[in-house]
Structures are given as C-alpha cells and as structure tokens.
Chain A
C-alpha cells in the first residue's frame, strides 16, 4: 500500500523491540463481541491511483460546471475568477500540510498570513478588528448572535427579512438551544429598515444584510441608530465580499459586528464548502469574540513576531465557559482569501467590484427587455431578483435545456411563501456579453 512505509520485516522487528507477539495484543481492551474477524464487510480493497482517479473523474463528469456556459447562480456563493498564483500558494507543502500554529517559533508563515488576513478583513469591512475566520458566513452569523447576547446580557435576536434563509436557519439552530428568542421578520426584497421598528429593550441585536439575499443594497445607518438607542447591537451581514469594493461597508453604517462569506475572494465554488467566514467587530468587543485570534509580539531576541492570542476565551482553556466551541478556523481558505486580496490590492479590488456591478447592470437591462420580466430589486450590486409571468422552477429547467443556468428560484429558499414566480440571478466578472445575450434570448424563447 503506497501510503504505508513499514515493511513486513520492519513490523516484525518493531514488535520484537516492544515484546509483543502481534498487533492484536494492542487491541486486547476491545470487547470480545466488537472485534471484527477480518476486514469490514461490504467495502472494496485498496486500488491504485489510476483506478481511483477514473472512479472520481466519472463522478465529476456527471456535473455541469459553472464555466461550461452561461451561469447566473448566486445566493451566497459566487463564481469568480481565481488567479493561478493563489492555488499555487495554497498548495505549498508548508501551508497545506501544517497544523494550527501552536508553536509560533516554527509557524510564523501561517501566523503572519493570519495577521495580514485579519488586517485585510478589518479594512474591507471598515471595522476595528477581525478574527482569523470562522467556518463560513452562516456560522459566523450564528456566532455573532451569541456574542451579542453575551455582550448585552439579553436573550433576543431579530433577523431581517432579507437575511439569507440559510444564515437565519443556522442562527436559529444555535440560539434556540440556548433559550435565545429569535424574531424573524417576514421576507421582503427591500425591508431591511424594518429592523428599526422591531428593536426593543430586550433586544440583544438586530441582524441585517446588505446586499441582502435578493441583492438589495441598503444603508443600515438608521437601523444602527435605532439599535444603539435601545442599547442593542447591529450585526451587519454580507454574502458577497466583492460588494464591499463599492457598496457601503458595515463599519460606515455603524455596525458593531460585521460577518460575511469570504468565498468570493480566492476560493472556488466547491459545491458549498469549504468556505471562509469573515468576522469583525469594534475594539471594545474584542474580548468577547469567538474563534482564533492572531496578535503581534516579540521574541526573546526582540524581533517582531506573531502568536495566537487571547486564548483564555477559547474552549481548550475555558472549557464549558468558552465563548464558543470552535476549535478550527478556515485555515487554508483564509490563505487563499488573503493571497488573492494581496494580488488585487485596493486598485484591483475596487476595479473588480466595478466589473461585477456593470455585468449585473447589463444583465438587468437585457432581462428588462424581455416581455413580462419585472426587476424587483431597487438597488443592487451584482445580484437581483426578478419576476416572470410563469413558474420560476419550470422556466429555469427549460433554460437549463437551452444551456443557460439562469439563477435560483426564490421558492427554493422560501418554500410556500408565494415566490413561485421569482428568480434571483447574479453576474460577475466571469459573465460575458455573450452570456447575457444568451440568457435574454433563451428567456424570450421560454416565455414566448
């Protein structure tokens, strides 16, 4: 077996050194009834690289990739171009095959990139500090709700009607287990400001999203003001990090905590994971943050270096009193994010944002030209919702038959909420003029 260096002679020699007759002796504590005679039944034996690769390639071939043709699916994950350099960097053995940087003397590579990542995320969100990442945007959102409850010592969380339903669901799961009340405002394309009305003296935080799941961008400043008046926090969410190159970032709107999905920068779609959850907040809340933090310090010779810090918040020290049970971060995905962001720089990043916005504007213009289409999203970045005079699921299926993956039917996210005729579509820098034309032409044909 190619991954096992021991030879039969090695095993024999080692057993002799130990003084054991066979490896069975090491398993003597396993209850008699639970000992398997041979190998586990029902599974094949080992195979060579060629055979395994063929099997996996066979599965891969059954999927339609986002690059194969016109593709407009968004809703929390976005098809962007990732520079070749990024994948090269994250495949460096020293990054790929190392562990959490618990021994800083031999982990400065990981630690410095985490420090740079935290700095980039803080800049991006216009917040004071950021952590070294969470699993993804949705779990970051859930952790933000818990953090707000710790900070305010209150037990009520209000979710906007434009918060991604998966984020809302993940947050509800975590909160309800701890007896935290969740108030979910009714779904709405342009209702983020309704959070202002919902905040009261028991509210720990309100959670709003911009751009929201329907693509609507909203200045949440009035929500922040309303929340702060009641001594509650504003958690500001985004699922498309590229939007922050143009749209108002959480820090400019008075958010206390900013969370979002970082997949768009440096990370492929991967059918939903692994992604990278971004988490930032104001400096005064820093010690209540969940997850890993990297900080600056010096070594015994006075040289600048970086270490994991404030670990007294964390489960391995605090156990049942920790701020979170989280034990990992998104590791390599943060590196992909950070390396891509370094290649972009402010210049490339804002440029990229502009290309995304323009592609979406062009798409909206083209679809508005299709008979019966009504754009529902009043202000958007690279994604919007629109209504068609037909069932969205059936239309998307027909579009698929014409080679166009036209977006997400809103009813998939909101079953039974009267959104059967709504499609949410996204465009990015990967969307070409030809893709947009193909969509408009195909939709015209399907709706005719």
Chain B
C-alpha cells in the first residue's frame, strides 16, 4: 500500500458492494437527494427582489382572488441547487450516446443557443408594428427558402408548433383542397401503414378523416398488393400518410409508384418527415411526388429537445396544396417583408389559423443558424454519416441480435427480440443499457416488429463512441440470449430502480397536496 505525505492511504482498501451502503441523508455521493419545492419551500419565501408597491391603486372592480395561491418559493441559492440536483438525475445527449430511434438525438450546437438569445430575436413581440421587425420577418423568409430548396417544394407553412401540429397543418390543407373540389363529403378515407407513428392516425381523425390501415410486407415496406387492393374502389380516397424513410429505418422502394397510385386515385400524398435527416441534401421529397410534409426542426435541424419540447413543424406544400396554407405567412415586396394575417385572395377558403402568432421563432433562429453552419455540403455529409453510423451498428450487432429486415438500413437500425431467451424482453435489454451508461433505444416501436428495438445513433457520434456502444450492446445481447435473469432487475446503477407505472395509472396523483389532506381523503 502506498502512502502520501500525511500517511493517508492512496489506494482503496477492500470495499463493501456500493449498493449496500446506506446513507442518512438519502444522497449517494454526487447523486443528491432532492425533495419537492412544496416540501422545501414556503409561501413566505422569495428569490426575487421587487420594488415596493406604491399602493392606493385599484381598477379591478372587485374581481379579485379570494384564496391564497399556495405557491412555495425558494431563495436564489436554494432554487439553483434544486434544479441542478434534479438535472443530475437526467440522461442527456451532452452526456452520452442517446440512440432513441426516430427521435434523432443529435448534438445541439451552442452557437444556436447564443443566436436565439440575441435580444433582436428573443426580445421582440409578435404584435409589434411590422416595420419594427423586418429582420425577424426576413429570417422567417430565409428559413422558408432553405426548407423549400432542400425539399424541392414550392410553398411552406411556418406556423405549426411541432411535428404533430405540422401533420395537422398538412392534412388540413388536403381537407381544404378537397373542399375546393367539392369532394370533402365523399373523400373521407386516409391510408396509413401499420408501421406509422401514432400521431398519423390520430391526426387523420382530428381532421375528420377515417383511417384505413395498410400492411407492411416482408421487406418492411408498404405491401403494394394490399395498397392496390385498398385503392380498387378509390372514390372515397382522401390520401395517404406515409413516413419516408419509414419507421423501420428503410427507404420506401416503391415510393414513386405509391405517389402515382394515390394521385391517380384522386388523393394526396402526405409524407411524415420525421426521418428527413436520413436524406436531407441527397434527396428532395418534391421529386418523390409528395404533396405535404412536415419537418421536425428539432430532429433534422438540431434544435434541442428540451425534455420533450418545444418542437417546431414547418410544413412544405406542393403546388396543388399551396393555396390552402394557413395564416399568417410572410411575403416580400421590393425588399419589404409583410406578414399576411388575414386572407382576402383566392386562398381565403383556406383553413384559417393554427395558433396564435407566427410559429416557433426561437426554433427558427436555431435551425437557420444550423443550416448556415452546415451549408448544402455539410447537410449532405451529415445525412450520409448518420446512415453510415446506423449501418455500422447494424453490421456489428447482427452477429448476436436479429435484424428485423434484410439489407442495409437508412439512419436507424431495427432489431426484433427473436434472439432473446424465453422470459427476457426488450424492456430488460433497455434497462440493462442504462447500467452501461446509455439511454435505451426506442422499444416496442414500430408495432410491426415483435419486441422492436430501434437504434438511431445520428451523425454526431465518433467511431470510438460507436464501438464502445456496440461492445456494451453485444455483451447485453449475449446475456439476453443466454437467459441471464439478472437483466430482469436492471437498472441497478441508475438514480432509481424500475418504477411502478401500473400504480401511477391506477390511482393517479398528478399534483402535490398537503400530507394531512391526503390522509383525510
């Protein structure tokens, strides 16, 4: 044993397994215990200093709050600690590989954050006079130009606030076009593949359509025979909602034929652009016969996911649908930018407005910054690296794991649970990944593959990182194959063990309440 100058041992002695160590504080080293603000704060405490009220002014006419609000406050140091401690219970892309398939967890450049915070973007009001926000309108126009050019589409609606909101926008534009054709009463059926994101059928229904599910074939693509059968009587076809590359991580081989069949049937082609990141800069959806497609700025164009939002879902539209875009939109005339908030032109039969104001400006600034940084060449390279990384993972993992389909994948690799021993589930593999220091892949989606594991590495991972990940995955997969029961208890090393979701749903506790109040109920 070596000693330092004060006689302190510098090598560890025999240790108790760390999971057996009990602490009085409830903290575990760097993992600090942190209670709810309702338990630690008080209504009498505040972390802000405000000037004294002047008093004697009241124009509320008696419409005043009667009960106290019941909001706990913390001083600034306590508040900072509260959130920093909580933050350390989160996994994040800045911490490590986050292979959540279809979610595109890529690096979020910090320049984007800096730009979004420029007062000229963050501190301007959506209703201030247009002459005072020319730079903001120009930015929206520039981003629109990038999106139209990259997709090869003539128009784009910028206001959708997320991917699902973009789907709604696109399907409402289709609805508008069908109304203009006088066919909205008859054309009510929308085809949706079984592998689609759940938002697709939900959106179709929200727009007043009926969903008709198409099968996937043995190659993970649209079953063309099934599609043709569904189009035999096409008089009620409104359109198709198809993700491409699809949720199996595959390019729809017959996409041109699908587009043609739908158009011949009198319907429109909505493309879910969630996976545009695999083809951006290499393929323009406009060349594939697409009529509408939302673009998740938080996936392809690196705006941060922020723990589940905010997103942004600008939606590009074909010539056939361009007239049915919602308000507001930006037009340029002699170098002056105008925001059109009410339509009186031909398009006034469009569907109106999706939301207050003009869309997710804070995401627009970040996305444009990212596009300018990458440029046309960098975006293409990013797509190619994303696809290369996914194929590399597929290639390395297939020695133990079962690829869902033959052949190369696009930006994500899909495996089924066929290789696991009886009793070991996809969930167990996912939880074991947590102990290895990774966020799990997307699990049990798409629904067309049993025990699906969808792995999307993105282009912002190094080869060394991918190799480390593959080594971990192979080790877990070997255990799963061997039926190692220890997987059932994972994770062991996370801030928490597996949580009881059934209990949460059976007796939902959605807000904090005073303990004595709970007891009295």
Number of residues on chain B facing chain A (CB within 8 A): 202
Q: Verify A315–B500 contact, CB threshold 8 A.
A: no
Residues of A within 8 A of B108 (CB): 96-97
A65 and B117 alpha carbons, distance in the complex (Å): 12
Selected from A1, A77, A132, the residue in CB contact (under 8 A) with B125 is A77
Are A135 and B70 interface neighbours, CB within 8 A? no
Contact of A174 among B69, B206, B508 (CB under 8 A): B206
**A274 and B310 within 8 A (CB):** yes
Q: Is B30 an interface residue (CB 8 A)?
A: no
Q: B206 contacts A178, CB within 8 Å?
A: yes
Which one, B4-12, B223-231, B315-323, B359-367, is touching chain A? B359-367
Q: B111 interface residue, CB < 8 Å from A?
A: yes
The answer to whether A112 touches B34, judged by C-beta atoms less than 8 angstroms apart, is yes
A319 touches B201 (CB 8 A): yes
User: 8 nearest interchain CB pairs?
Assistant: A345-B73, A60-B120, A62-B135, A272-B357, A332-B306, A331-B309, A379-B61, A272-B126
A318→B305 contact, CB < 8 A? no
A3 touches B374 (CB 8 A): yes
Q: Would you give 30 A-B contacts (Cβ < 8 Å), ordered by A? A: A27-B283, A30-B251, A31-B288, A34-B256, A59-B121, A60-B121, A62-B120, A76-B356, A89-B80, A92-B84, A97-B105, A105-B431, A106-B89, A107-B89, A116-B38, A120-B71, A122-B510, A136-B355, A136-B357, A269-B122, A271-B124, A274-B309, A300-B497, A327-B163, A345-B47, A347-B73, A348-B48, A354-B53, A360-B59, A400-B131
Contact flag A17-B395 (CB < 8 Å), given A47-B372, A166-B357: yes
* Cβ of B352 under 8 Å from chain A: yes
Q: Residues of B contacting A351 with CB < 8 Å?
A: 46, 50, 53
- Neighbouring A residues of B361 by C-beta, 8 Å: 270-273
- Identify which of B46, B74, B410, B508 contacts A26 (C-beta below 8 A): B410
Question: CA of A36 to CA of B44 in the docked complex: distance in angstroms?
Answer: 64
Q: Are A25 and B353 in contact (CB under 8 A)?
A: no
Least Cβ distance of B11 to chain A in Å?
Answer: 31
Please count how many residues in chain A sit with their CB below 8 Å of the partner chain's CB atoms. 210
Q: Which residues of A contact B207 (CB under 8 A)?
A: 177
Docked pose: A439 CA to B357 CA in angstroms: 26
Complex Cα gap A66–B126 (Å): 11
> Chain B interface: which of A149-157, A224-232, A304-312, A440-448?
A304-312
Bound together, the chains give a CA A163 to CA B139 distance in angstroms of 30
Taking CB atoms and an 8 Å cut-off, the chain A residues in 19-58 that contact chain B are: 19-20, 23, 25-31, 33-36, 39-47, 49, 51-53, 55-58
Given contacts A63-B120, A364-B59, contact A400 B90 (CB under 8 A): no
Nearest Cβ in chain B — how far from A254, in angstroms?
Answer: 13
* B255 lies within 8 A of chain A by Cβ: yes
| Interface residue? A373 (CB, 8 A) | no
- Do residues B123 and A83 form an inter-chain contact, with CB atoms below 8 A? no
Q: Is A405 an interface residue (CB 8 A)?
A: yes
A71 to B127, CA, bound (A): 12
Bound-state CA distance A129–B508 (Å) is 10
Q: Is B463 in contact with chain A by the CB < 8 A criterion?
A: yes
- The reply on A246 being an interface residue by CB < 8 A is yes
B46 in contact with A39 (CB, 8 Å):
no
Contacts of A71 in B (CB 8 A): 125, 128
Q: Please name the residue on chain A nearest to B431 by beta carbon.
A: A105
Identify which of A33, A139, A345, A364 contacts B165 (C-beta below 8 A): A139
8 Å CB contacts to B: which residues of A131-150? Answer: 132-133, 135-139
B124 & A63 in contact (Cβ 8 Å cutoff): yes
CB contact under 8 A between A333 and B65, given known A63-B134, A109-B87? no
- Complex Cα distance A222/B381, Å? 62
In the complex where A217-B63, A270-B122, A273-B361 touch, is A342 in contact with B342 (Cβ < 8 A)? no
Asked if A349 is at the interface (CB within 8 A of a chain B CB), the reply is: yes
For window 310-367 of A, CB contacts with B under 8 Å fall at 310-312, 314-322, 324-335, 339, 341-352, 354-355, 357-358, 360-362, 364
Task: Decide if B47 touches A344 in the complex (CB within 8 Å).
Answer: yes
Q: Is B368 an interface residue (CB 8 A)?
A: yes
Cα distance A311–B505 when bound, in Å? 8
Q: Is the CB of A98 within 8 A of B91?
A: yes
Please, how many angstroms separate the alpha-carbon atoms of A261 and B304 in the complex? 22
Contacts of B88 in A (CB 8 A): 94, 109
| Interface residue B509 (Cβ < 8 Å from any Cβ of A) | yes
Q: Are A320 and B205 in contact (CB under 8 A)?
A: yes
Interfacial residues of chain B within 166-220, with CB under 8 A of chain A in the complex: 167-168, 172, 175, 197-199, 201-208, 211
| Contact pick for B306, options A95, A179, A248, A295, CB 8 Å | A95
Q: Is A203 at the interface (CB under 8 A from chain B)? A: no
Please state if B199 and A315 are interface contacts (CB–CB under 8 Å).
Answer: yes
**Contacts A56-B115, A118-B511 given; does A331 touch B306 at CB 8 Å:** yes
Of listed A40, A52, A96, A217, residue having the most chain B CB within 10 A: A40
Does A106 lie within 8 Å of B439, measured CB to CB?
A: yes
CB neighbours (8 Å) of A305 from chain B are 496, 499
Q: Does B338 belong to the interface (CB within 8 Å)?
A: no
Task: Answer whether residue B232 sits at the interface, using C-beta atoms and an 8 A cutoff.
Answer: no
Evaluate whether A64 and B64 lie within 8 angstroms (CB atoms) in the complex, with A42-B149, A271-B133, A346-B70 already known: no
Q: Is the CB of A273 within 8 A of B373?
A: no
Query: Is B501 part of the contact surface with A, judged by Cβ < 8 Å?
Result: yes
Which residue of A26, A174, A342 contacts B73 across the interface (Cβ within 8 Å)? A342
**CB under 8 Å from chain A, chain B span 118-167:** 118-129, 131-136, 138-139, 142, 146, 149-150, 161-165, 167
Expressed in whole angstroms, the minimum distance between the Cβ of A380 and any Cβ of chain B is 6
CB–CB B119/A177 < 8 A: no
- Give chain A nearest CB distance to B180 CB in angstroms: 15
Per-residue CB contact flags for chain B residues 485-521 toward chain A (1 = under 8 Å, else 0) read 0000101001111111101110011111000000000
Instruction: Assess the B388–A56 pair: CB atoms within 8 A.
Output: no
Q: Is A183 an interface residue (CB 8 A)?
A: no
Docked pose: A28 CA to B279 CA in angstroms: 12
CB distance from B299 to the nearest CB of A (A): 11
Further contacts, 12 of them, CB under 8 A, given A98-B93, A106-B439, A135-B165: A1-B382, A3-B374, A30-B283, A33-B256, A120-B71, A252-B67, A270-B361, A325-B199, A328-B163, A342-B74, A344-B46, A396-B129
Given A106-B434, A318-B198, answer yes or no on A299-B136 (Cβ-Cβ < 8 Å): no
Within 8 A of A (CB), among B65-98: 65-74, 76, 79-80, 82-84, 86-95, 98
Nearest Cβ on chain A to B53's Cβ, whole angstroms: 5
Task: Tell me, in angstroms, the Cα distance from A20 to B70 when the chains sit together.
Answer: 63
Whether B198 contacts A6 by the Cβ 8 Å rule is: no
A391 beta carbon closer than 8 Å to chain B = no
- Enumerate chain B residues within 8 angstroms of A18, measured Cβ to Cβ: 388, 391-392, 395, 408
Find the residue from A65, A91, A92, A128 having the highest chain B CB count within 10 A. A65
> Min CB distance, A81 to chain B, in Å?
9
B418 on the A face (CB < 8 A): no
Q: Which of A88, A286, A329 is the one whose CB lies under 8 Å from B308?
A: A329
Given contacts A30-B251, A138-B356, A314-B198, contact A273 B161 (CB under 8 A): yes
Interface centre among B142, B382, B510 (most CB of A within 10 A): B510
Which chain A residues lie closer than 8 Å to B206 at the CB level?
174, 177-178, 324-325
CA distance A228 to B41 in the complex (A): 37
Decide if A218 is an interface residue (CB 8 Å cutoff).
Answer: yes
Question: Pick the contact of A108 from B89, B279, B352 — CB < 8 Å?
Answer: B89
CB pair B120 A309 closer than 8 Å: no
Contacts of A219 in B (CB 8 A): 62-63
Digit string of B375-386 for contact with A (CB within 8 Å is 1, else 0)?
111111110110
Q: Which residues in B have their C-beta under 8 angstroms from that of A342?
A: 37, 41, 47, 72-74, 79, 82
Q: A105-B431, A271-B125, A286-B508 are in contact. Are A92 and B500 (CB under 8 A)?
A: no
Most chain B Cβ neighbours within 10 Å, of A49, A53, A96: A96
B69 touches A123 (CB 8 A): yes
**A345 in contact with B434 (CB, 8 Å):** no
Nearest to B362 among chain A residues (CB) is A270
Which residues of B are found within 8 Å of A3, using beta-carbon distances? Answer: 107, 109, 302, 373-374, 378, 382, 459-460
